[in-house]
Amino acid sequence: MKPSSSPAPGSRAMPWTLPNILTILRLLAAPGIAVMFLYFHRPWADWFALALFALAAITDFFDGYLARAWKQESRLGAMLDPIADKAMVVIALLVITGYSGMDPWLILPATAILFREVFVSGLREFLGDKSGLLQVTKLAKWKTTAQMTAIAVLFLAMGLEYVREAGELRSNVELIATLSDIGTEDVSLVDLAEYSGSLTWHIGLGLIWVAALLTLLTGWDYFRKALPFLKDDV
């Protein structure tokens, strides 16, 4: 008698739908952001990291939208989606913090974001089958959007850093003489890029502080919902 070809109960094949594939690609893109700085020199690493991060962030919208529109929601996607988001944010913040010269105005909101992510993950693990109480809220979605927007702006500012450094070299007499010899002593474009880079960085810092505030608010909301299950029975 031939063995049955039907799958055993509870062993359904992994649903390789387009939304799930997009989620998996976003998860793989997270470490790819750091890898860019291993194989490329700056500012190319900054530009490539920005492009990869932005592309992955866009898929965060489309995988959920397509899953709902095509009725292809799955447990795999529900599990991987928040993991991919957290991996992207955490790895990107580590890279940006490291290359920013440990700017305290960046370290503080980044620490708040990382603390919240670890704290909420611990809550979910502790609650186990009751973790469904900590469903993603609209505020949490705004939090994720704010985080990804701020990180993209900060990557853009990092990419402009080499222009800012070039602007600082204007005080170098030999450089000015060389530029004059080749007929490009007008470095007003460098001034403009230098100003744009600094402005972009400060905008990014403002956005990451907003993201950190939303992150802490959502963390408090999850903790409040979980609090009744954290009390010992009298």
Q: What percent of the chain has pLDDT over 90?
A: 30
Q: Which CATH number among 1.10.12, 2.60.40, 3.40.50, 1.20.120 corresponds to the domain 18-229?
A: 1.20.120
* Positive/negative CA dihedral, 122, 32, 38, 153: negative
Which residue ranges make up each domain of the chain? 18-229
Residues 45-73: pLDDT tens digits?
889 999 999 999 888 877 777 777 777 77
* Prediction pTM value: 0.77
Residues 99-158: pLDDT tens digits?
888 889 999 999 999 999 899 888 887 877 666 666 767 888 888 889 999 999 999 988
Per DSSP, 160 falls in state: T
Exposed, middle or buried by CB within 10 Å (0-12, 13-18, 19+), for 228? exposed
